[in-house]
Structure formats: structure tokens, C-alpha cells
């Protein structure tokens, strides 16, 4: 932590939101939280019961020439999701072998229905940008917990196509080949599966893929490392899917050092980055911290495993992230160790706290969050991981910490401290002001009484120039149908708090007309009913979509959702009548 560079952040609230230097930060403000988005992905993109979205990852890509922050989720195949009658040995071992593709959506775009816009969606994948997939099959992932046999006489299920299925054969060479009857017997004995020995669909050219869960897989190779709790999937520039895992060296023997967990460990380094091919399962271990003496020792013991970071493909290097687990531990340590005066430290005169926020309807400690922003005194926006601090016994914000991760700046830590003579609203104060705002609180109470439930998203503290902007999304979902829709965005600046249907409207209300918010792309989704200059064909298309959606929700027993879509349909019909009478 002695490497963290301390700077002063002077707040003047003289912010020109139209300044081109601020545009990259504003247009990458995250409106989607991973928990409600995971539920929305499941409802809109799961497509079949055996597909699962185990997690939602956040990353950055250059898309159509712009540096964009996006949310990704892998569509894995979980054999436990097969119907009971379909859980046969052939289906589970030979046929249903892999997931297919990913869902990608920008962090800041919302359709008229309150759902995310998609850069990549559906099966086979459909693309709306230059971000594409060429090898969408996922044989190795977070939910692939069973071994499978490929290159058999039984073709593998690839993906559904309407009422029919598309089939394929595995093209990799990294599995364990059957080769002979004797090896087949040994594999059957080892895996305790006699059907493997007796099955007529298996040939000597068949391959067995085992240890397909990526966490179990890397631990088989390097069990002496600790692994981050959040592996994330990446689309490489070659169109293939890869998993990236952060690995740590650790010890409880470092002298005069405070433990960071209940096992007494007091030494931690993010010394290894692991790349795992989602198609072949091939793993590559790259040394990320060459100064770490522990990884130097492991490298001498296992010289064929570890590779220098320069060997990592450039397309994957661009997606290396500073891990949240590591940053969280450092932030908790820095709460006390920011005090450099020994007398102040000894008396614990100025401890910091990690502030709390309301997520859903519960008060919880804030978690670090990734954001694309232009740091003070820097020329361009970059990807950082950040977290604010508050002083003990006071709710105002005292500082914020960030870890940089783009290019040569990877791993550099910055701490920006606010002036102690000025009060800067902390996250808990902003949450209190939201609760105390009569307009916002009345609307939230109204929604909660109509068979719906309000989900409050993560509060983002966003430094822009010499100012602080606060943004919190609000999602609405029916009590009997888990399909969160982004309905409102709360924004705070200075002494003002506003709530509007979209971020651009919230910023217009805060800063005035004419702000430089980028236009939303046409995604083919229905717009908000009543928008101006809509053709009869467009209104008819909207009416059909609301009618179909209402009928679907009626079949699901979601009366609140049904009523909401009928009301939207009514608004479109009124608009049609007005247009026809002109």
C-alpha cells in the first residue's frame, strides 16, 4: 500500500457537462447492476431450460471505434436443467455437451420497455456492432460439472433452431483419446461408469473431456495458488471465447504484517493470470508480478507451467482487470494505514470506513466497481476500479481510491482526498436524501403497492473534473414474475436530487438543456408510447408487441405486468387515433 499515490481532489462543482473531455465518462455511466441483469438475461435470452447464465461479467471493448463498457454473460449448458425424461446416459455424456455463445449489452443503454439493448444476442448469435463471435461453443466453464465424450457416432447437440436442432462434432484435440479397448476399460474403471465401456457409439477416435469446471481445472494444475472468486469470459480479437482467472500467491509467515483473513494470512500478491480456452480447455499460466519471490520459486520448481506476460496474446492483454478481491482487501487495510503519523496511527485518531448503500431494500457495505472515466490531469478516459471512503462516525465522503489497469498503468493505485474544510456528501447521505425526497418516496411507495416491487441498484459515486456526480438506477419487477425493468434513474449533483425515466433526462434536469448525451441507437425495440413523429407502421408494430407481451404475462399469471402492457397498448391506440385523424 506504500505504492499508492496520494493526491488532493478539490471540489468546486463548476462542472461543464458539455465539455468534450467529460463525454467519455458520461456515456459510460453504468445503469445495469449484475444481479437484476442476470435475471433479465435469464428471462429474455435463456431460450431453453438447460441453458444457464451463471454470472454477469463487466469488461471494456473498443466497439465500432469507441471505448465502451459492457456486460457479458456466457450461455452455458447445465445438464441438471434437462427434463427428467431426457436425463439419459447418451444425452448427458454424448449429446448435450456444450453451451453456446454469450450475451453482450452496453452498460448505459435501455430499450423503451426498460430492458437492456444487446450487442450480441440469440442463438445462433446476432450482432449489431463489429463485436462478433466465430467460435461460440462453450465446453469449459463455470457450470460444466460433468465429463463428456466427444467425436462419437452420436452427433452433438449444437443449438436449437425453431422446432429443430442443429448438430455438430467437436473439432479440438485436447481431450483424452480412447485409442484402445484396454484404455477404454481403464477410463471406465477410473470414472466408475460401466456404460462407457459398453456403449456402441464410442470409437477409438473418441475423446473424453474431464475437469471441465474451470475453477476445478486450474486447481488440478496449481493447487498451491489461491484463485479469485470471479472468473470472467472474454471475446478475443480472433472471435474465440476465453476465461481469465486471477491467481494469488499467499502466506501467513510475513513478519510484522497484519492478517487479512481468519486463517492468519498476511501476504498476498496477484502474481498469476490464467487463460483458459472455453472450447478446448487449454490453460496458460502467465506471471503477472515478476517481483514476487514466491512465484519466482514456483517458476523454478515448475518451469514448464509459467510463461512471461509478453507471451500473452495482445487481444487478451487488453482485457486484464485488476481483481475485485485483491482491491477489497487493500481498501480494508488502507482504512487504518492511510494514517502515516505514528502517533495518529497508534491512537486511531482518523480511521476511515467503507460506506454503506441501499441495494434492493437492504443496507449493505459498498463494493468496488469498475468504471470508464477520465482521471484528473489525464488526457483520456481509462478503465479503473474504485471505491469511496467515509470517516468514522461521520457520513460525509473523505476520499476515494482507484486502481488503474489500462496499458502500462496496470496496477497503479491512486488515493484522492477531499478537503477537510468542506463537506462532500457520502453515499449514505445521498441514500437518505433519496428517501427524504417527497416526490421520489411517493413514487416508490406507489409502485410497491400495485403488485410490483422496487429494486434499488448500486449507487455510483462518479468523479468528473472537480465535481462529484451520483447515479442510482431503479428497477421494477412484478412480485410473481422476476423480470426486472429499468424504470428510473436517480441522479444527484451538489444539493440537488432528481429522478427521471432515463439518464439523459436526469442530466438535463440537473444541468439544463443542450447537454452532449450521445444518441441511443435504434435497436428495433418499441419506443415509449406517445413519442412524436411516429409512423402508423411503427405504432402498429408497437401495438402488436404490447399485445403479445400482455398475453404472455397473462398466461404466466403476472397480472401487474399484464395490466401495465395493456395500459401501454391503450396509449399506442390513442396515438394511432390521433395520427389517423390528422
Helix (H) or strand (E) holding 100, with range, is strand 99-100
SS3 for 327-373 is HHHHHHHHHHHCCCCHHHHHHCCCCEECCEEEEECEEEECCCEEEEE
434 sits in which H/E element = helix 427-436
Query: Does position 528 have pLDDT exceeding 60, yes or no?
Result: no
**Of 191-200, 384-393, 402-411, 524-533, minimum mean pLDDT range:** 524-533
Q: What is the pLDDT of residue 527?
A: 37
* CA–CA separation, 67 and 518 (whole Å): 14
- Element (H or E) spanning 581, and its range? helix 559-581
Other beta carbons less than 10 A from residue 219's beta carbon = 16
Of residues 53 and 393, which shows the higher confidence score? 53
Cross-strand pairs, 247: 227, 272
The CA distances from residue 448 to 140, 490, 556, in Å, are 41, 17, 20
Determine the pLDDT at residue 575. 81
For 498-504, what is the mean pLDDT?
91
pLDDT over threshold 90, residue 558: no
User: All 3 cell numbers of residue 190?
Assistant: 477410473
Q: What per-residue confidence (pLDDT) applies to 526?
A: 39
Query: Is the Cβ–Cβ distance between 327 and 413 less than 8 Å?
Result: no
pLDDT at 166: 94
Q: CA 54 to CA 57: how far, in whole Å?
A: 10
Q: Is residue 544 within 8 Å of residue 517, measured between CB atoms?
A: no
Maximum pairwise Cα distance, the chain: 83
Contacts 24+ apart (CB under 8 A), 384-389: 385/321, 385/322, 385/324, 385/327, 386/461, 387/327, 387/328, 387/331, 387/354, 388/355, 388/426, 388/427, 388/461, 389/331, 389/335, 389/352, 389/353, 389/354, 389/355
Q: Specify the pLDDT at position 576.
A: 82
User: Exposed (0-12), middle (13-18) or buried (19+): which is 304, by Cβ within 10 Å?
Assistant: exposed
The DSSP call for residue 220 is H
pLDDT the model gives residue 556: 61
Residue pLDDT, tens place only, 321-374: 999 999 999 999 999 998 888 898 888 888 999 999 999 888 999 999 999 999
- pLDDT of residue 428 exceeding 90: yes
What are the tens digits of pLDDT across the range 216-243?
999 999 999 999 999 999 999 999 999 9
Please give the helix or strand (H or E) that residue 544 lies within, else none: helix 536-555
CA distance 45 to 40: 8
- CA dihedral (440, 446, 451, 454) in degrees, to 10, reads 10
Answer whether residue 36 shows pLDDT above 60.
Answer: yes
The model's pTM is: 0.85
Q: Which of 256-270, 327-341, 471-485 has the lowest mean pLDDT?
A: 471-485
Q: pLDDT class for 480, splitting at 50, 70, 90?
A: confident
* Confidence grade of residue 511 (pLDDT, cut at 50, 70, 90): confident
**Taking Cα atoms as reference points, which of 19, 20, 31 lies closest to residue 506?**
31
User: Cα separation of 432 and 280, whole Å?
Assistant: 51
Q: Residue 450's pLDDT is what? A: 65
Instruction: Using the predicted structure, report yes or no on whether residue 582 has a pLDDT greater than 80.
Output: no
CB 210 within 8 A of CB 147: yes
> Of the given ranges (93-97, 224-228, 411-415, 562-566), which has the lowest mean pLDDT?
562-566
22 pLDDT above the threshold of 70: yes
Cβ–Cβ under 8 Å, residues 286 and 317 = no
Q: What is the mean pLDDT of residues 406-410?
A: 92
Q: pLDDT tens digit string along 40-69?
A: 999 899 888 899 999 999 999 999 999 999
Kindly report the CA angle at 313 between 312 and 317, in degrees rounded to 5?
75
Task: Dihedral sign for Cα 332, 333, 334, 339, please.
Answer: positive
d(CA 429, CA 329): 25
Q: Is the pLDDT of residue 517 over 70?
A: no
* Inter-residue contact 443 to 465 (CB < 8 Å): no
The rounded distance, in Å, linking the Cα atoms of 553 and 563 is 9
Element (H, E) at 23: helix 20-26
Instruction: Please say whether the dihedral angle defined by the alpha carbons of residues 295, 296, 298 and 299, taken in this order, is positive or negative.
Output: positive
Q: Binning pLDDT at 50, 70 and 90, where does residue 555 land?
A: low
The pLDDT > 90 percentage for the chain reads 65
CA-to-CA distance for 282 and 77, rounded, in angstroms?
A: 19
Q: Identify whether the C-beta of residue 57 lies closer than 8 Å to the C-beta of residue 233.
A: yes
Domain ranges within the chain, ordered by starting residue: 5-20+327-511, 33-210, 215-323, 536-581
- Mean pLDDT, all residues of the chain: 89
Q: Per mean pLDDT, which range of 109-113, 167-171, 294-298 is the poorest?
A: 109-113
Angle at 541 between CA 535 and CA 544, to 5 degrees: 140
How much is the pLDDT for 469?
94
pLDDT for the residue numbered 390: 94
Higher-pLDDT residue of 29 and 555 is 29
Q: What is the pLDDT of residue 571?
A: 82
Distance CA 37, CA 496 (A): 28
Amino acid at each position: 500500500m506504500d505504492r499508492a499515490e496520494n493526491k488532493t481532489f478539490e471540489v468546486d462543482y463548476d462542472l461543464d457537462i458539455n465539455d468534450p473531455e467529460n463525454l467519455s465518462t458520461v456515456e459510460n455511466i453504468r445503469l445495469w447492476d449484475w444481479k437484476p441483469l442476470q435475471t433479465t438475461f435469464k428471462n429474455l435470452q435463456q431460450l431453453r431450460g438447460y441453458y444457464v447464465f451463471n454470472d454477469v461479467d463487466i469488461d471494456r471493448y473498443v466497439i465500432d471505434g469507441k471505448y465502451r463498457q459492457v456486460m457479458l454473460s456466457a450461455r452455458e449448458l447445465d445438464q441438471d436443467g434437462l427434463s427428467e425424461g431426457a436425463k439419459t446416459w447418451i444425452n448427458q455424456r454424448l449429446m448435450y455437451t456444450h453451451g453456446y455463445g454469450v450475451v453482450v449489452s452496453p452498460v448505459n443503454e435501455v430499450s423503451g420497455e426498460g430492458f437492456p439493448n444487446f450487442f450480441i444476442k440469440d442463438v445462433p448469435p446476432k450482432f449489431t456492432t463489429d463485436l462478433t463471435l466465430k467460435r461460440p461453443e462453450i465446453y469449459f466453464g463455470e457450470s460444466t460439472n460433468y465429463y463428456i465424450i466427444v467425436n462419437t457416432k452420436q452427433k452433438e447437440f449444437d443449438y436449437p433452431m425453431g422446432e429443430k436442432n442443429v448438430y455438430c462434432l467437436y473439432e479440438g484435440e485436447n481431450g483424452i483419446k480412447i485409442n484402445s479397448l484396454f484404455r477404454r476399460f481403464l477410463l471406465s474403471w477410473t470414472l466408475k461408469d460401466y456404460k462407457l465401456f459398453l456403449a456402441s457409439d464410442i470409437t477409438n477416435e473418441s475423446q473424453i473431456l474431464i475437469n471441465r469446471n474451470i475453477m476445478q481445472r486450474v486447481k488440478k494444475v496449481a493447487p498451491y495458488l489461491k484463485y479469485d472468486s470471479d472468473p470472467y469470459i472474454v471475446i478475443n480479437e480472433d472471435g474465440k471465447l476465453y476465461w481469465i482467472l486471477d491467481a494469488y500467491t499467499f502466506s501467513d509467515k510475513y513478519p510484522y504484517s497484519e492478517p487479512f483473513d481468519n486463517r492468519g494470512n498476511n501476504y498476498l500478491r496477484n502474481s498469476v493470470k490464467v487463460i483458459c480456452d472455453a472450447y478446448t480447455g487449454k490453460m496458460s499460466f502467465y506471471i503477472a508480478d515478476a517481483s514476487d519471490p514466491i512465484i519466482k520459486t514456483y517458476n523454478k520448481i515448475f518451469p514448464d507451467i509459467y510463461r512471461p506476460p509478453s507471451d500473452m496474446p495482445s487481444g487478451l492483454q487488453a482485457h486484464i482487470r485488476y481483481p475485485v478481491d485483491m482491491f477489497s482487501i487493500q481498501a480494508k487495510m488502507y482504512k487504518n494505514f492511510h494514517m502515516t503519523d505514528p502517533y495518529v496511527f497508534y491512537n486511531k485518531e482518523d480511521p476511515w470506513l467503507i460506506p454503506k448503500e441501499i441495494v434492493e431494500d437492504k443496507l449493505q457495505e459498498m463494493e468496488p466497481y469498475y468504471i470508464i472515466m477520465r482521471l484528473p490531469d489525464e488526457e483520456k478516459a481509462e478503465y479503473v476500479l474504485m471505491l469511496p471512503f467515509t470517516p468514522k462516525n461521520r457520513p460525509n465522503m473523505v476520499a476515494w481510491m482507484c486502481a488503474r489497469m489500462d496499458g502500462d498503468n496496470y496496477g497503479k493505485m491512486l488515493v484522492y482526498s477531499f478537503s477537510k474544510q468542506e463537506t462532500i456528501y457520502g453515499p449514505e447521505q445521498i441514500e437518505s436524501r433519496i428517501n427524504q425526497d417527497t416526490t421520489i418516496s411517493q413514487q416508490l411507495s406507489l409502485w410497491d403497492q400495485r403488485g410490483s416491487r422496487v429494486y434499488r441498484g448500486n449507487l455510483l459515486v462518479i468523479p468528473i473534473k472537480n465535481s462529484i456526480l451520483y447515479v442510482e438506477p431503479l428497477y421494477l419487477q412484478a412480485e410473481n414474475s422476476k423480470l426486472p425493468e429499468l424504470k428510473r434513474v436517480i441522479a444527484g449533483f451538489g444539493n440537488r436530487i432528481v429522478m427521471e425515466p432515463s439518464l439523459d433526462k436526469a442530466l438535463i434536469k440537473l444541468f439544463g438543456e443542450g447537454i452532449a448525451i450521445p444518441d441511443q441507437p435504434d435497436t428495433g425495440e418499441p419506443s415509449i408510447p406517445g413519442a412524436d413523429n411516429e409512423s402508423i407502421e411503427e405504432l402498429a408494430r408497437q401495438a402488436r408487441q404490447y399485445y403479445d407481451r400482455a398475453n404472455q404475462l397473462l398466461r404466466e399469471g403476472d397480472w401487474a405486468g399484464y395490466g401495465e402492457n395493456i395500459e401501454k397498448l391503450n396509449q399506442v391506440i390513442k396515438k394511432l387515433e390521433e395520427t389517423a385523424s390528422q
